[in-house]
Amino acid sequence: MDSDIELNISFRFFSLTEELSNEIKSSLKASSCRPNKKLGGFVVCVPLTPSSLEFIGSFVTSNSVEVENTDIFVSFVTEYDSRVIDLPNIITKASFSIGSPVTLSYTVV
**d(Cα 18, Cα 77) in Å, to the nearest integer?**
32
Q: Where are the domains of the chain?
A: 5-108
**d(Cα 4, Cα 19) in Å, to the nearest integer?**
39
CATH number for 5-108 (one of 1.20.120, 1.10.3470, 3.40.50, 3.30.70): it is 3.30.70
The mean per-residue pLDDT over the stretch 7-35 comes to 96
The mean per-residue pLDDT over the stretch 73-78 comes to 94
pLDDT tens digits along 78-101: 888 888 888 999 999 999 999 999
Measure the N-to-C terminal CA separation of the chain; round to a whole number of Å.
18
